[in-house]
Amino acid sequence: MSNLKNYSDLFADLAQGAYNGRPKEYSFPSERLTSAHQKELKEKPKL
C-alpha cells in the first residue's frame, strides 16, 4: 500500500486528481504527457 501523503506515487496522484475541487489536480510533471493528453486534461468537464 502506498503512502498517500507521499506525492511520488503516480497512481495516488491520478486518484486524487480525479476529484473536482482538489487544490492540486496532478502533481506529476505535465511534460511527461503527450500534447493530446495535456489538451484532454485542460478540457476536463467540471461535474
Yes or no: say if 26 and 41 are a contact pair by the CB < 8 Å rule.
Answer: yes
pTM of the predicted model over 0.95: no
- Residue in 34, 12, 33, 16 with CA at minimum distance from that of residue 25: 16
Q: What angle do CA 37, 42, 47 make, to 5 degrees?
A: 115
Helix (H, G, I), strand (E, B) or coil at 47: coil
pLDDT in tens, 5-37: 655 666 766 776 666 666 665 566 667 778 888
Q: What is the DSSP string of 2-44?
A: --TT-TT-HHHHHHHHTSTT-S-S--S-GGGS-HHHHHHHHTP
